[in-house]
Amino acid sequence: MNRVAILARDDLSGLSSITLQPQRSALRAIKVLLPVWGDSYIRQFLEYGLATLLAPGNLPALVAALPTEFVLLTRAEDEAIIRGNAAFERLAAACPTTIRSIDHLITDGNYSTTITIAFAESVMAVGDAMLDTCFFFLVSDYIIADGSLANALGRMQRGISAVVVGNFQVAREDALPWLQEKIAGDEFSLAISPRELMRWALANLHPTTLANTVNIPYCHNSHTNRLFWRIDRDAIQGRFYLMHMLCVRPEIPNFIIGSSCDYSFVPEMCPSGSVEAITDSDEYLVVEMQPRAHESAFLRLGPIDPRKTAESLNEWTTRVHRDNAHYPIIFHAGDVPPHLAESIEEADLFVARIARHFASRPMPYRGHPYWEGAMAAFNATAKSKLSGDKWLYGADSQKKSIRARAGRLLGSRSKGVILRWFLRARYVIMGLPPYVRPWHPSWPDFYVMLEEVRASCTGRDIRALIISNEPLPISKVLATNSVYLRSLGCSQFLSAACQLHESSRGTFDLCFIELVDDELTELPKLVAATVPLLTSSGRIVASLPTRGALTGTWDAARGVRSYMSHYGTQFIQSGAVLMSIRPVPAGALRSMVYRRLRDASARARMGGVFRIPLAIVEGGFLLGLSLIANLITLRQSRSADPRGGNSRVIMRLGVDVQNG
């Protein structure tokens, strides 16, 4: 019997025995393989994914075309749970169904390795008949548009050897209610047209999908394998380095697997290169439901940088992966947009910019370094189960009334005079917010804020709106440049939004919003409510200071990632388009100087004739360090991916005229 060799290193010994089929006969059978184990994944598949799989144009269409078997790859302990579910009974009634145990392959934290070997074992179990069998490789969290599998099979029946596709993700927490409502209306199957499914998906995009969207430069994924471009409200374009092998008809019986299935199955099983990619969501559309926090550790503020993206891709991409990115895949909820060609050209140029930074030699798909590491971990964990062949991440200026505390801290008149002199000297040396000196610990925050506000002020006679729960130093700047200035608290503004939309629509040239840590959840609502009040060339500047970032009392980097994961995608629906984003890094040196200056100032205020001179000496040294730290910080604020926490994030948005 033929067997598959699954390698732990770059073994090329099997190449000499590879021979291509001179002419392919008609397909004779279909096998649908789907791995799923664990309560939550089994429940999601049986309750949601299976209903869409049973739509007329999916599994039933395969059964009508050719003898079809559905194979569930799972743990032995899960078999009784699966068989006892009514949804499984519907599956078994629609198609001959087998449950295959893969206990010997399941290890903690090595999902990709497990499903690769499980898929390969299932293909090899067919024996020589594999050459006349079309294998569909599915995943349990797929939500499948009606007709997708039938269309893929149609391509295979025309004689090609493999179909590859690109999918994207929606946030499960947001997307699930609509899906539950749809399923409640049809207990047996759920037929959703591609455009209806796409409308649902666009309304519930996952934060990682937003982070991978090049022309929405709000944030990015530091370890991406796909890129998107928003074409308009109803369409996006995708470029996938990693494409999923939806279906494969092996050309050879003695293939070798030297990397995970998405890397190796197509080039190993179909060496002729007879492969097609489906590039229109009207023909094939699968959406993956993932928890909103999925891959949130990889989210970073700022736009996607071609050089850094290439550095990440260099770690794993094979030649096939690099070629994949040249296929434009169009996802659309309406007709194909008329300006599609411009979007494709824009994507071509960006992909070419990334390619200029690629290493000259791509990674091998046989003996891939990732696979070697995965197999080392797999063998160490699972070798007792196997026999035979070896298987292979604010510095806001809080207004404190120091003068009011002076009398309390210094009881005598003389000490009060000294302190007042000290405070006047400090204001001369440090400046007054927002016009502080370059050595002030908060200078980078105010500098970036002023730069973004000035970029949004088209002249001195602007009409401005401030939304904040606290008085802001920036109001001095806006008062100077505005003929009309109005200031409202966040709750006050939201409660009066409808009235303002009637009385002040299209009135303001600039809206400045400042929110602190626990108010961030309101930002998408505030932006959406502000857009109708702006002129067509109006701007929104949102300032997000992080209290505690410089003092080390709050995990700023984690907090921003958490915010982006939970609320970032709402900006797509807000009617505004992001023009720039400027994170102001806290930085280790800047944080240290901030804390030392704070402590020195506190010691000076405690009283004592000698404390103030000592504080002046210490402060002079620290201000020198602060200047150095601030200059470093300003440079990093222009980076696409500043490291560590941020003392403030400044976003500038404009009215989305095209999609508003």
- Answer positive or negative: Cα dihedral of 351, 354, 356, 362: negative
Task: Pinpoint the alpha helices (H) of 555-610.
Answer: 556-567, 588-605
Report residue 426's pLDDT band, with 50, 70 and 90 as the boundaries.
Answer: low
Which residue segment(s) compose the domain that 48 sits in?
5-14+29-384
Q: Coil, helix or strand for 314?
A: helix
**Domain containing 563 — which CATH number?**
3.40.50
Mean pLDDT comparison of 133-137, 550-554, 564-568, 600-604, highest-scoring range: 133-137
> Domain boundary at 350, 384, 418, which?
384
Amino acid at 338: P
For residues 355 and 411, membership in a common domain is answered with no
For residues 262 and 146, membership in a common domain is answered with yes
d(C-alpha 508, C-alpha 463), whole Å: 5
Within 36-93, strands assigned E span 68-74
For residues 343 and 441, membership in a common domain is answered with no
Which is higher by pLDDT, 57 or 406?
57
Identify the residue whose tokens are 């006047």: 424
Report residue 639's pLDDT band, with 50, 70 and 90 as the boundaries.
Answer: low
Across 48-57, 77-86, 279-288, 459-468, least confident range: 459-468
Residue 198 CB contacts under 8 Å (≥ 6 apart), including other chains:
145, 234, 281, 285, 331, 332, 333
Q: Which of 253, 230, 219 is nearest to 19 (CA)?
A: 253
Task: Pinpoint the alpha helices (H) of 411-541.
Answer: 413-430, 443-456, 474-481, 490-495, 497-503, 523-530
Q: What does pLDDT average to over the chain?
A: 81
Whether 361 has a pLDDT exceeding 50, the answer reads yes
For residues 363 and 441, membership in a common domain is answered with no
State residue 100's pLDDT score.
Answer: 94
For residues 236 and 93, membership in a common domain is answered with yes
| 395 domain residue, yes or no | no
For residues 294 and 149, membership in a common domain is answered with yes
- Mean pLDDT over 514-527 rounds to 79
d(C-alpha 597, C-alpha 419), whole Å: 16
The domain total for the chain is 2
Report residue 332's pLDDT band, with 50, 70 and 90 as the boundaries.
Answer: very high
- Mean pLDDT over 306-319 rounds to 92
Which is higher by pLDDT, 238 or 605?
238
- Mean pLDDT over 107-124 rounds to 88
For residues 145 and 262, membership in a common domain is answered with yes
| 393 domain residue, yes or no | no
Whether 11 has a pLDDT exceeding 80, the answer reads no
State residue 109's pLDDT score.
Answer: 66
Number of H helices, E strands in the chain: 25, 25
| 80 domain residue, yes or no | yes
